[in-house]
Copies of this chain bind each other. A is one copy, B any other.
Amino acid sequence: MRSSLRDARVGVVGATGAVGSVTLGLLRDRGYENVRVFASSRSAGRRLGAWTVEEATPAALSRGDVDVFLFSVGTGASRVLVPHAVAGGAVVVDKSSAYRLEPGIPLVVPEVNPGRALEHDGILANPNCCTIPLTCVLGPLHEAAGLTRVRVATYQSVSGAGAQAMERLRGEPPVDHDLRMDWDFDGEEFDEESKLRSETRKIMELPDLPIQATCVRVPVMVGHAEAVWIETESDLAPEAARALLAEAPSVRIEEAPSPGKAAGIDDVLVGRIRRDPTVEHGLALFLASDNLRKGAALNAIQIAELVLQRERTAA
């Protein structure tokens, strides 16, 4: 492990996808100089800016010449490839859902549970793109007033479904635009909805938090939004919640957040904070964030940086 962030040898696996290309841009912006890019055999040899894509084979990933791998491939590919990267001595931040709920594997949102990043055995998991901004907002509110109940309706952009879905929307006449629910069922809800529940509980270390989501895909290119209702143990006035969130890391107050306003920026936008008059201690709010950045690539880089920082300090 090298001694500074910029020197760290970083491997981006799944570099040709929507999240992979945002990852490369962010690494460039942050001054990383030792970046290598990996993808499937289909893309091997292809040029990606200054980089040439290498094939992500078990052999290539286990060679021990990379400090941190950032994985943004499908769950199946992660299950196959991540163990090889770890066997080679690298730390892996995996963006798929393969390892998120596995006991002992840290699931990290650096603004919420940074300490967990220091307890890894080689693999750290990056949460779902809706869970990350949600926990950034819930964290400070829970600390202040104690969450007792959460309900979320999502407005998720097509980039969350990958580059092909973006291509489809680009070619679709507006009259054909529709809401979609393109997830698999996990019992009577979508796996996207159960992920949001389980991951939020794990990150916030509230294993019994009552939480339900209704997930919906909207014909927007980039940026996920969420309509949220929370209930708390003690009273939390909207003004107090607003003040807490104005001070919260990676959160910015915005009167009416939208994907368009959130796309391309790092912060989670939150607004429309008001009383939920249907219960005693309830609030309603609306948030939006860039699902490719804070919802995926950026959060994973932040996790990697927590790990690299620790290694540097320990060295």
Determine if A189 and B274 form an interchain contact, defined as CB atoms under 8 angstroms apart.
Answer: yes
Say which residue of B170, B216, B258, B286 sits within 8 Å of A178 (CB atoms): B258
Determine if A155 and B260 form an interchain contact, defined as CB atoms under 8 angstroms apart.
Answer: no
Q: Does A259 reach chain B (CB closer than 8 Å)?
A: yes
Q: Does A218 reach chain B (CB closer than 8 Å)?
A: yes
Smallest CB–CB gap between A141 and chain B, Å? 16
Residues on B with C-beta less than 8 A from A272 are 181, 214
Say which residue of B150, B176, B179, B276 sits within 8 Å of A212 (CB atoms): B276
Known interface pairs A151-B278, A155-B179, A219-B218; A172-B174 also in contact (CB < 8 Å): yes
Q: Give the residues from 212 to 248 in chain A that come closer than 8 angstroms, CB to CB, to chain B.
A: 212, 214, 216, 218-221, 223, 225, 227, 229, 238
Say which residue of B172, B220, B286 sits within 8 Å of A214 (CB atoms): B286
A210 to B212, alpha carbons, bound, how many Å?
A: 19
Determine if A170 and B179 form an interchain contact, defined as CB atoms under 8 angstroms apart.
Answer: no
Q: Does A169 reach chain B (CB closer than 8 Å)?
A: yes
Determine if B278 and A221 form an interchain contact, defined as CB atoms under 8 angstroms apart.
Answer: no
Known interface pairs A149-B278, A227-B216, A276-B212; A170-B176 also in contact (CB < 8 Å): no
Residue with the highest number of chain B CB atoms closer than 10 Å, among A178, A210, A272, A277: A178
Interface string of A292-311 (1 = CB under 8 A from B): 00000000000000000000
7 contacts between A and B (CB under 8 A): A150-B278, A151-B151, A174-B174, A177-B177, A177-B219, A177-B220, A210-B277
A residues with a Cβ closer than 8 A to B are: 149-151, 153, 155, 169-170, 172, 174-181, 188-189, 210-212, 214, 216, 218-221, 223, 225, 227, 229, 238, 256, 258-261, 272, 274-279, 284, 286, 288
